[in-house]
Amino acid sequence: MSPREQFPSLDQGFYFNHAAVSPWPRGTADAVKQFAEENAVNGPAAYRQWIEREKDLRRKLASLTGASSADDIALLKNTTEGISLAAWGLDWQAGDNLVLPAGEFPSNRLPWLAQSCLGVEIREVDIRAAENAENALLDAMDDNTRLLSVSAVQWNDGFRLDLARLGQACHSAHVLFFVDAIQQLGALPVDVEGCHIDFLAADAHKWLLGPEGIAVFYCRESVRPRLRLLQQGWHMYDNPWNFHAGDRQPSSTAKRFEAGSPNTLGQAALHASVELLLSTGMEQVSGRILDNSEFLIRELGRLPGIKISSRTTENRRSGIVSFTHSAISSGQLHSQLAKSGVTTAVRGDSIRLSPHFYQGETQISEFIRILERTI
């Protein structure tokens, strides 16, 4: 399919809000329609095929995250569930501390803050005020630090962290490393092995171009036994259909975190979306997304009254570019752009833009012309 055939949203205006919820590709919508028709006509007669699709989805997500095995991949409901598994599953001791950037999205803040009831100190670091964000985070760690948790890309302005450097430092210090990858996975390459990431979580509905209600959770094999299981159910075993088995142990794979019935509809949709990203090639996907950001930064920078809120240095760029206008509030500008068919988001005092790989200079140039007329 051509991009316009694969992404019919291109005919409905300018959708620059993939950092919130993405429109589905045509192939994903077709996969859901086919799944619904299978159910309507034959019920679960094809369940064995669904199981094979689930296995293939784990393999594809392992490839996308850089995991060494599909056994490291769990399919959860959302990013928050993955973060909560680690936050409440670790055996915290009074006097422990954990470090995270200040201003994190609530999903990567509230579960960690809740650990203060166990005597855990939560250290929040202003990475934007620091001369070097990675240094600031690492300087906040000490001998009592058990975990560092970061968003790979910050949700409001697209600030990107050096995961390889942070992961190597955590590995050397025997500190666990958790990454909320929802604003990076599907947009930019991720390598959990190369970056020494112990845990990673990401919803499907943003840059992965999938539905809400399903997410990937990566857990390194060596740290899986360290997480106390907060839920128990029939699906967390290697042979879940042996309902009459007596006392048995949860799977040693990441399936141990999946207590109940799987989201088979979500799996069908996410499988199609991930297949599209992998067949396109993440190098091409990320290259196009970073080109979009570079083009936006350059074109926005020449407009009077526009101030770019995002960091513009190459190592901090992501798929998100945020900006303000000196005379028009972001709320007002957001509404005016919406009337012209441009979908953006207001985050803080800024307009946030997040085009995906299937968009490019043609769409962005037209948006710039609309923005010029609006301001």
Residues 260 and 273 in one domain: yes
pLDDT at 3 over 80: no
What distance in Å separates the CA atoms of residue 336 and residue 340, rounded to the nearest whole number?
7
Last residue of a domain, one of 257, 279, 301: 279
What is the 3 state secondary structure string of 203-268?
ECCCCCCCCCCCEEEEECHHHHHHCCCCCCCHHHCCCCCCCCCCCCCCCCCHHHHCCCCCCHHHHH
Contact 207, 18 (CB under 8 A): yes
The CATH number that applies at residue 346 is 3.90.1150.10
The 3-state secondary structure of 358-373 reads CCCHHHHHHHHHHHHH
Same domain, 210 and 323: no
The last residue of one of the domains, among 279, 298, 331, is 279
Angle (nearest 5°) at CA 337 between 336 and 342: 155
Per-residue pLDDT, 248: 83
Give the pLDDT of residue 1. 73
Q: What percent of the chain has pLDDT over 70?
A: 100
Q: Tell whether 245 and 364 lie within a shared domain.
A: no
| 205 and 256 fall within a common domain | yes
Identify the pLDDT of residue 33.
98
CB atoms under 10 Å from CB of 246, counted, come to: 5
Q: Is there a contact between 24 and 358 (Cβ–Cβ < 8 Å)?
A: no
pLDDT category of residue 305 using cuts at 50, 70 and 90: very high
> Where do the H-state alpha helices sit in 7-160?
26-42, 47-65, 79-89, 110-113, 133-139
Name beta bridge partners: 74: 217
Q: Is residue 81 domain-shared with residue 121, that is, in the same domain?
A: yes
Residue 372 has pLDDT above 90, yes or no: yes
Give the confidence band of 240 by pLDDT, cuts at 50, 70, 90. confident
The CATH number that applies at residue 67 is 3.40.640.10
pLDDT at 214: 98
246: pLDDT strictly greater than 90:
no
Give the model confidence (pLDDT) of 72-131 as tens digits.
999 999 999 999 999 999 999 999 999 999 999 999 999 999 999 999 999 999 999 999
Instruction: Report the share of the chain in percent with pLDDT over 90.
Output: 95
Q: Do both 340 and 370 map to the same domain?
A: yes
Ramachandran area for residue 221 (φ above 0: left; ψ -120 to 50: alpha; else beta) = alpha
pLDDT, the chain, mean: 96
Owning domain of residue 334:
3-24+282-374
Position 210 scores a pLDDT of 98
Q: What is the mean pLDDT of residues 252-277?
A: 97
Domain shared by 271 and 139, yes or no? yes
Q: Is the dihedral of CA 156, 169, 78, 317 positive or negative?
A: positive
Same domain, 313 and 204: no
- Residue 187 contacts by C-beta under 8 Å, 6 or more apart in sequence? 18, 153, 207, 285, 286, 289, 318, 319, 356, 357
Last residue of a domain, one of 263, 279, 295: 279
- Residue 348 and residue 360 in one domain: yes
Q: What is the pLDDT of residues 170-227, one digit of tens each?
A: 999 999 999 999 999 999 999 999 999 999 999 999 999 999 999 999 999 999 999 9
pLDDT of residue 84: 98
Q: With bands split at pLDDT 50, 70 and 90, how would you rate the model's confidence at 357?
A: very high
pTM comes to 0.96
Do 214 and 157 belong together in one domain? yes
Both 187 and 252 in one domain: the answer is yes
How many domains does one find in the chain? 2
Asked if 268 and 287 sit in the same domain, the reply is no
